[in-house]
Structure 1
Amino acid sequence: MTLLQRAGRWLFATPPRIVVVAAVSLTLLTVGYLRIPTGPSYGCPRPLSRLDGDSLVGDYTGSGGMRITLHPSTFSVENWPSGDIGFHGADSRLPSGSGRWSMDTYAGSDEKLLRLSFEGGPGAAEPKPLQFLAVGGDRGHRVLFDDEDPDVCPDTVLTRAPR
């Protein structure tokens, strides 16, 4: 008798066992311990502390056509958001740009931070592009995100494209 057959016999041997299993499953599902993915989001990303810069190289995409391509020391962006959205408005985006990137850490923490240095920079009246992204993971997926408030899931999340 296989393990699966034994489990089936145990579960369906008496009616109360199946009722108990169903009640516990339903309770856990309603409380949220068993999650059913409902969309493309994997959850709320968490910053990573162990990472080398070479493992970041690749393409990342986000909402609204936002895209960043990281090469070994340079980057290029498309549809890039402004870092000061409150002043310039939510639609303030840089159509394209490029520059150099480097890894940094948050002050007093080991969590990794991606620092973007744009070539040329914005003019005095132009919005300043988003220049810092946290490096994180979201259920096993590498992501870059704007970590303004660690108590709230970020609005700006870029997911790494499959290789």
Structure 2
Amino acid sequence: MHHRSQRTRRSVAAVAALAALAGSLTACGSDALERCVPEESTTAGAAQLVGTYEGLLKAKDIRLTLTATPGQNTGGTLTVDNWPTGSFHRSGLGEAFTGSGTWEVESGRPPNSRSLLRLRFEQPELFLPGDTLDKLSIGIDAKRIFVYDNSDPDVCPDFRLKLRRN
């Protein structure tokens, strides 16, 4: 009898440890209601994204404003405050910059077909693709719209901006 209860305790402890590990691996949660950001959208449209986004966590104090260009349904103009400077421009601009440019929604391509927000910075100087963070995932659910850096889909993104509701 003593043998069985000790084995049962070890089994329960092992199951608890595995459950804790599994919970930490899926930091965003599997249920849409538990996710830190909505799942990546495959149908995001430019009209949905217009507005001002406030940064959270690593994006704290960052603001991104997207404005639509009349007659164009794929994008428009943008302004940013405290946007992270890529390493190529850091010596001239510092760790962050305030600037402007254009944006567009890039339709997803198979196999995952997820839409991306593509940013093109023109001020304070022309940034080439990849000079700074210029591609963001788009997450939309019934209550929230986020744009975020989805560098690791298994981990809740630290760099995320939420559309401010007026």
- Structure 1 residue 62: deviation in Å? 0.4
Gaps of 5+ in 1: 1-30, 33-40
Aligned-residue CA RMSD (Å)? 3.3
Partner of 1:160: 163
- Structure 1 residue 102: deviation in Å? 0.8
- Structure 1 residue 52: deviation in Å? 1.4
Query: Equivalent pairs: percent with the same residue?
Result: 33
Deviation per CA, 1:37-89: give whole Å up to 9, x if none: xxxx962442111221111100000032100000000000001123569xx6x
Equivalents in 1 of 2:38, 2:95: separation in Å?
A: 24
- Structure 1 residue 130: deviation in Å? 1.0
- Structure 1 residue 139: deviation in Å? 7.0
Partner of 1:118: 121
State which of 124, 128, 136 in structure 1 corresponds to 2:131: 128
Which of the pair has the greater relative contact order for Cα pairs under 8 Å at 6+ separation? 2
Gaps of 5+ in 2: 1-19, 24-33, 69-75
Normalized against structure 1, the TM-score is what? 0.62
Partner of 2:8: none
- Opposite residue 51 of structure 1, the aligned amino acid is A
Contact preservation (8 Å) 2:78, 2:102: yes
1:55 maps to 2:48: yes
State which of 98, 104, 107 in structure 2 corresponds to 1:105: 107
Q: Which has the larger radius of gyration?
A: 1
